[in-house]
């Protein structure tokens, strides 16, 4: 496996020196896409949020800025991501607004019906079964809670499909596949948006 392939495979579970480089790059490289996704959160004012697959921690920080009266729990199954997110959000952690912990989205060990908003930026490509993992998200959301997914890939763009072939365990999902899995996992209303000029997608679902 060449160095480039080793590096891009760090997107799945960042580890070691290459993983630290990857999560640092995530914060800047995905910022515009993440901010576009967050513009779709127009009516909700959550008290408790959960950020799933928190990567480098930048999006957790932006959510805390967007909702200054909220608290947030950030989850990732990479120790590198957990430590980077803690460092990035050190002030919010000190002030009691942010908790960061290692966890697996396919088996969340969090209080049930606790959160008003769950977010997943550039991460569901690696979740081991959408329906299974989405059901875990539904379990921890309050009734009427919102789950927002933001992806750089719409599941059909050539660049992402190229990476899918070289990154172990990566699967680029279409809007239709995501919507179908959500509706089978305890979510009712599903709204989708596709960026006008990029393959970016935002999917927002409400728990039944």
> Look-up: residue for tokens 């989405």?
134
- Helix 58-66 / helix 16-29 crossing angle, nearest 10 deg: 40
Tens-digit pLDDT profile for residues 2-36: 666 766 555 666 667 765 766 677 778 789 999 99
Which three-class secondary structure state does DSSP give residue 13? coil
Domain boundaries, the chain: 3-207
CA–chain centroid gap for 30, Å, is 11
> pTM of the prediction?
0.93
Q: Are 191 and 198 in contact (CB under 8 A)?
A: no
> Look-up: residue for tokens 């290459």?
18
- Tokens linked to 141: 């959301």
CA–chain centroid gap for 166, Å, is 21
What architecture (CATH level 2) is domain 3-207?
3-Layer(aba) Sandwich (3.40)
Residue 26 pLDDT: 72
Q: How far apart are CA 146 and CA 80, in angstroms?
A: 28
- The residues with which 191 forms a beta bridge, in sequence order, are 204
At 157, is the pLDDT very low, low, confident or very high (cuts 50, 70, 90)? very high
At 38, is the pLDDT very low, low, confident or very high (cuts 50, 70, 90)? very high
Residue 203 pLDDT: 98
CA angle, 67 then 149 then 118, to 5°: 45
Tens-digit pLDDT profile for residues 50-77: 999 999 999 999 999 999 999 999 999 9
Which has the closest alpha carbon to 48: 71, 68, 75?
A: 71
At 164, is the pLDDT very low, low, confident or very high (cuts 50, 70, 90)? confident
Name the DSSP class of 107: G
At 121, is the pLDDT very low, low, confident or very high (cuts 50, 70, 90)? very high
């Amino acid at each position: 496996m060449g160095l480039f392939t080793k590096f891009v495979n760090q997107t799945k579970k960042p580890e070691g020196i290459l993983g630290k480089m990857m999560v640092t790059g995530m914060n800047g490289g995905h910022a515009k896409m993440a901010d576009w996704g967050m513009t779709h959160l127009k009516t909700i004012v959550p008290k408790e949020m959960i950020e799933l697959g928190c990567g480098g921690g930048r999006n957790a920080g932006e959510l805390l800025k967007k909702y200054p009266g909220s608290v947030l729990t950030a989850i990732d199954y990479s120790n590198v991501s957990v430590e980077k997110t803690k460092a990035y959000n050190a002030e919010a952690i000190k002030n009691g607004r942010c908790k960061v912990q290692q966890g697996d989205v396919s088996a969340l060990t969090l209080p049930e019906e606790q959160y008003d908003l769950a977010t997943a930026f550039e991460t569901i490509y690696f979740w081991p079964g959408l329906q299974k993992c989405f059901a875990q998200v539904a379990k921890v959301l309050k009734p009427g809670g919102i789950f927002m997914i933001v992806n750089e890939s719409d599941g059909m763009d050539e660049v992402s499909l190229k990476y899918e072939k070289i990154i172990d365990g990566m699967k680029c999902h279409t809007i239709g596949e995501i919507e179908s899995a959500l509706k089978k996992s305890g979510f009712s209303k599903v709204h989708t948006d596709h960026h006008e000029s990029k393959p970016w997608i935002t999917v927002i679902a409400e728990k039944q």
